[in-house]
Every structure is written in C-alpha cells, then in structure tokens.
Amino acid sequence: MTFIEVIVLYCLQRIKGERTIYSVLHILNGKKSAQTIQDIHIFELMPFFQTYPNLSRAEFDRIISALKEQKWTTEGKTFQHYDINPKQEDEFARLLIEYPIPTHLNGWKYHRIAVGFWERLALSVQVASHLSKGDNRYMPIQRNIVVQAWMKQALQNYAGDRQSLNEQLYQELADCLDDEAVLPEYLVCRLTGSEHIGLTPEQAAASFGIDRSYYELYFLSLLHFMLKKILSAKEKFPFLRQMVMDDNTAYILTNSTKATYEYIQKGLSLDEISTMRRLKMSTIEDHIAELVLNIPDFSIEEYVSPDKIAKIKKIAEVTASKSLKQIKQQLPEVSYFEIRIVLAKLGGGIN
C-alpha cells in the first residue's frame, strides 16, 4: 500500500460515504470551492487541504480502484460513494500506527504560504552560500521572478554583513529544526549550496528508501512545523521570518470572496452585490458559505430565519447526517443555500 492510498482511505473513512469520492480529490488538490472548504471543516480534514495539489483525476481513480481491489473499501449508495470496509477498520488503525500521518501537517492553515516559504528558503540558502564565497556567478535554482525580487529586497534590507548571512541562516535553521519530533534531514537534502545541488523530491525519497508520496507529505509537514515555530517566536528567527509571506488578511479567503465581504461590510444586500459584481447569485452564495466558515463571528441571521436555523440544526443532529440532500428531503421549505450556511456555522461541532 502506498502512502497516498493510506491518506485517501483515511479521508474516505472520515466522510463516511456522505460525499462522492471526488470530494476527497478536491480536498487533496486544495480546490477553493465553498463545498470543499465546508467539507474539510465538517469532516475535520483541514490538515489535508492542498497536500497533493498535482494529483490528477486519473491517478486518483487508480488509487480508488487499488483500494477496492485490496478490499479496503465497500461501495456506498452510488458507484461514486465509497466507505472503508468495516471488517478492515482494525487493520487500518494498525496501519496508521505503522505509517503515522505527520503530526505537524496543517494544510488549511498554511497552504497559502508553505510553497512560497520553501521557494524563498531554497533561494536564500543558495544565495547565502555563494555570497560567503564572494561568488555571484551561478544559476539561481528558483526562477520565479517574484521570489527573486523578494530576495533582492531582503538582501538590501539586511543590516548585517552579506558575506556572513550564511552564518546567521545556519543558526536560525539549526535552531528551528532542532527538535526530536521531526527529521530535518528530509529538508536539508533538498537545499542547494555553492558546492552541492539539492535533490529532487524523487531522488530524496529514493535516498531515504521511502515511498514518494510519504516523502512529499512529510516534507510539507516539516514546512508547516517550521512556519508554526517561526510565527510563534518571530524575534528568534529574524531572517526566516521574512520568508513568510505577509498575509494582510486575518482570515483565509479567496480573492473574490474578499471583494464580496467588503460589499457586505458596506451594508449591501446579496442581490445588490450580485448585480454590481455581475456574478451569479449562486456564486455570491458560495462566498457567503466561505465567509461563514472562516469568520467565527460572521452572522447568518440576516440570511436564514432563526426558525429555519433551529429546524435545520435539529434534523442535522437527529440524522447525524451532513448530506444536504437528506436534510432537504425532510425540510422542503428551506433552500440548499440556507442548509449550507447553517451547517457551515455548526462546523465540525456535531459528530
């Protein structure tokens, strides 16, 4: 069993056949749709958001059929619904002990900054290594011009002696990574210096003799671990701190939702926003669902009557179901939008 199969099975186990298998693909890809964002909250799959952004549908289908063949799953209400095979739950629990999901993984919290952080880190290490030798003729391993522009700025702002930036970077990285809970060598082997070019993820996985999908997830969790540590003790990591992208918004929102939010704060109605932004009403409704999920004190009372909220809550609790369709069947008078935002407000709170 490859590690990505373990992850997919884990996700299927959490969603209990209440969503199609592709909702799992959307989570791993990090699809920024209201539905997916809602799902990770309801089913507590936040750590896995955007952990495999390049996983293709074809590859995902192969994983699903492999799981089926090995009898890990049973078919649900349609051919697109699968749940973990009840007979295998104990075996799977044992497997998760053998191949633990990296503790520090937190895709939802860090997905927007993790890749940028890595690009800046990789380039900084290369630049610092060359600068220490007084060498400025080399090919940067990061081609993204935004990252290169950041590097230039960071060097200009650097108060110390550029030739000894390497010493500071070493100290900060050593402090940051020195922790029994992680394997820093998984990150170090990827770094490029003046004498050595870093490994690709595939080469790294091969050199540690582990499955590639496991390596990739572990590497990502290592970045998340670093981000958490850096952001919680900023003064200890002055240079690493700069590699963390500024996130002006306190909440993680998609750009379009941000725009809608600004209109709402100005007191516009959903209809007015839809007209002004020339977006379909359903899109604006998606934005509202996203806002409810991300802003703890976002009020839904303006969009659903208290009476309906109570009804939806009750049905959701009684049936312990998070399927919109099932609730709608029992409450024909409420709209899907109303059910969605009420469920979003309830969040992962009911299980």
Partner 1 sequence: MNLEKNLMKLFSLPSFRPGQKEAISALMENRHTLAMLPTGTGKSLVYQLPGKLLKGTVIIISPLLSLMQDQVEQMKMNGEKSAVAINSFLNWQERNDVIKNIRKYKFVFISPEMIGTPYILNVLKKLEIGLFVVDEAHCISQWGYDFRPEYQNLGIVRKELGNPLTLALTATATPAIRKDIISSLALEFVEQVIYSVDRPNIALTAEILSSGIEKRKRLEELTNTLQGPGIIYFSSKKLAEQTAAELKQNSGKRINAYHGGMSQEDRILIQQQFLNGQLDIVCATSAFGMGVNKENIRYVIHYHFPTQVESFLQEIGRAGRDRQNSISILLYVPGDETLAYQLTEMELPNELQLNQLRRSLLPYTTYEDWAEKELAWIMEQFTETQWRVLTAYVQPEGKTCKQIEAKLNHFSEFCKNRLAVKKQSIHDMLAWVLLKQCRRSYLTSYFQEKEAPINSVCCDNCGLNMERFYSGQPINDKAELVGDGWKRQLAFILNKRREKADE
Which residues contribute to the site for partner 1 (CB under 8 A)? Answer: 125, 128-129, 132-133, 136-143, 145-146, 166-167, 169-170, 173-174, 177-178, 184-185, 188-189, 191-203
* Minimal distance, residue 261 CB to partner 1, in Å: 21
CB of 42 to partner 1, least distance (A): 33
Question: Minimum Å distance from CB 115 to partner 1?
Answer: 10
Nearest to 142 by CA among 116, 122, 161: 122
Judged by CB, which is closer to partner 1: 210, or 300? 210
By C-beta, is 64 or 222 nearer to partner 1?
222
The residue to which tokens 């069993």 are assigned: 1
Closer residue to partner 1, CB minimum distance, 46 or 154: 154
Find where tokens 């080399």 sit: 138
Nearer to partner 1, 178 or 235 (CB): 178
Residue 164 vs 319, nearer CB to partner 1: 164
Whichever of 87 and 133 has its CB closer to partner 1, that residue is: 133
CB of 324 to partner 1, least distance (A): 30
* Minimum CB–partner distance for residue 107 and partner 1 (Å): 19
Closest distance to partner 1 from the beta carbon of 185 (Å): 4
Question: Minimal distance in Å, beta carbon 272 to partner 1?
Answer: 28
Q: In terms of Cα–Cα distance, which of 184, 180, 121 is closest to 150? A: 121
- Of 232 and 255, the one with the shorter C-beta distance to partner 1 is 255
CB 62 within 8 A of CB 53: no
State the Cα–Cα distance between residues 351 and 348, nearest whole angstrom: 7
- Could you tell me the smallest distance in angstroms from the CB atom of residue 193 to partner 1? 4
> Toward partner 1, which CB reaches closer, 187 or 312?
187
The CA distances from residue 279 to 256, 282, 310, in Å, are: 10, 8, 30
Please name the residue that has the structure tokens 């070019």: 197
CA angle 40, 321, 91 (to 5 degrees): 70
